[in-house]
């Protein structure tokens, strides 16, 4: 099927537009983080400006501060950027007539979109909007590298990738890896916050950061597991074996073990808190390592996806 160059061009424009919108959102988040006052105890538990359940009638309505309005603008821009980002992937797929994650550039784009959508959902659940600059900055860096170093023109995939498993395995493993980026960042912030001190008072409480990291990992871990299983099934169909200790397979398995250890540690009283957070940070490091080093430096069976 010939490539529709017009749709491919639109996809590239939408991708760059999303990067620009994310950048402005980061700046607005940074302004809110810098100039907003430290949250009160009640806000740290139920959300910035959110009413305390059961006490709605007793709480006077407070005026929204200017930094908070700026932060809300950053959140709105994040949603706009995600819509542009999604449109760029759709256009990419339509231009090539296939699933839009057949090379590293597209894989990175889908992964980062999953991370952004996860962040948007978490903002609606937790009082964490001020962390937007910390969360979106590494995502923006990944998108920039994807659009420059890893960029590939829209084209049909190689014969080895022409399988329905491309749609299933790559999408699931990419989305789960993107979701796992968020608890990695929040676990780092948890370690910086330190629940036993008053350091970084403008960050959400250590309890909020810990619960958010745990719940996001709980959501992503089954997806990550399913992605590895689907990859093994595809490997058996394509190469005649379920597992071959390919570098990417190996690091993905080690990452799975680390995240399983984190969930176990989080459920064990002696390892809750900083111990569990450190394990999650190790998983985050392995996730990023597998994303870049394995594809860019080593040679293996997963290298045919192209750069």
Burial of 269 (0-12, 13-18, 19+ CB in 10 A): exposed
Answer whether 22's CB lies under 8 Å from 139's CB.
yes
Taken in order 220, 233, 235, 97, the sign of the CA dihedral is negative
Q: What pLDDT, on a 0 to 100 scale, did the predictor assign at position 262?
A: 92
Whose tokens are 């537009």? That residue is 17
Q: What pLDDT, on a 0 to 100 scale, did the predictor assign at position 52?
A: 34
Q: Which of 230, 30, 219 is nearest to 125 (CA)?
A: 219
Residue 97 inside a domain? The answer is yes
Q: What pLDDT, on a 0 to 100 scale, did the predictor assign at position 251?
A: 87
Q: Which of 102, 287, 257, 92 is nearest to 182 (CA)?
A: 287
276-301 confidence digits (pLDDT tens): 899 999 999 998 888 876 666 655 55
d(Cα 137, Cα 123) in Å, to the nearest integer?
16
Half-sphere exposure at residue 233, Cβ-oriented, CA atoms within 13 angstroms = 13
Residue 78 inside a domain? The answer is yes
Q: What pLDDT, on a 0 to 100 scale, did the predictor assign at position 110?
A: 94
Block mean pLDDT (10 aa), the chain, length 307: 87 96 96 78 46 40 78 95 96 90 89 96 89 94 90 80 80 93 92 70 85 92 93 79 78 92 82 86 90 64 51
Q: What pLDDT, on a 0 to 100 scale, did the predictor assign at position 137?
A: 95
Spell out the residues 6+ positions from residue 66 whose beta carbon is closer than 8 angstroms to its own: 35
Residue 60 inside a domain? The answer is no
160-203 confidence digits (pLDDT tens): 667 787 888 889 999 999 999 999 999 999 988 865 556 677 78
Residue 255 inside a domain? The answer is yes
pTM of the entire predicted model: 0.86
Residue 61 inside a domain? The answer is no
Q: What pLDDT, on a 0 to 100 scale, did the predictor assign at position 21?
A: 97
Q: What pLDDT, on a 0 to 100 scale, did the predictor assign at position 250?
A: 86
Residue 296 inside a domain? The answer is yes
Domain range for 141 is 5-53+66-305
Residue 87 inside a domain? The answer is yes
Answer whether 136's CB lies under 8 Å from 293's CB.
no
219-233 confidence digits (pLDDT tens): 999 999 999 998 888
Residue 58 inside a domain? The answer is no
Count: domains in the chain: 1
Mean pLDDT of the chain: 83
């Amino acid at each position: 099927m010939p490539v529709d160059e017009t749709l491919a061009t639109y996809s590239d424009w939408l991708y760059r537009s999303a990067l620009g919108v994310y950048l402005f959102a980061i700046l607005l988040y940074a302004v809110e983080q810098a100039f907003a006052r430290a949250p009160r105890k009640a806000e740290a538990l139920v959300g910035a400006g959110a009413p305390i359940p059961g006490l709605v009638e007793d709480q006077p309505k407070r005026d929204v501060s200017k930094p908070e309005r700026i932060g809300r603008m950053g959140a709105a821009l994040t949603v706009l950027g995600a819509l542009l980002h999604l449109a760029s992937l759709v256009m990419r797929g339509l231009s090539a007539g296939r699933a839009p994650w057949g090379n590293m550039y597209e894989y990175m784009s889908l992964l980062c979109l999953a991370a952004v959508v996860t962040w948007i959902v978490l903002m609606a659940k937790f009082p964490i909007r001020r962390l937007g600059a910390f969360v979106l900055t590494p995502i923006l860096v990944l998108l920039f590298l994807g659009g420059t170093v890893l960029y590939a023109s829209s084209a049909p995939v190689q014969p080895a990738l022409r399988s329905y498993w491309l749609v299933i395995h790559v999408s699931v493993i990419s989305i789960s890896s993107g979701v796992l980026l968020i608890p990695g960042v929040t676990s780092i912030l948890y370690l910086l916050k330190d629940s036993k001190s008053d350091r970084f008072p403008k960050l959400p409480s250590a309890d909020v950061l810990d619960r958010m990291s745990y719940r996001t990992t709980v959501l992503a871990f089954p997806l990550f597991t399913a992605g590895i299983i689907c990859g093994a099934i595809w490997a058996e169909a394509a190469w005649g074996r379920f597992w071959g200790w390919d570098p990417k397979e190996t690091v993905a398995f080690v990452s799975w073990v680390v995240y399983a250890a984190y969930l176990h540690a989080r459920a064990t009283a002696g390892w809750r808190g900083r111990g569990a957070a450190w394990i999650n940070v190790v998983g985050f490091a392995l996730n990023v390592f597998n994303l870049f080093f394995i594809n860019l430096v080593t040679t293996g069976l997963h290298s045919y996806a192209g750069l």
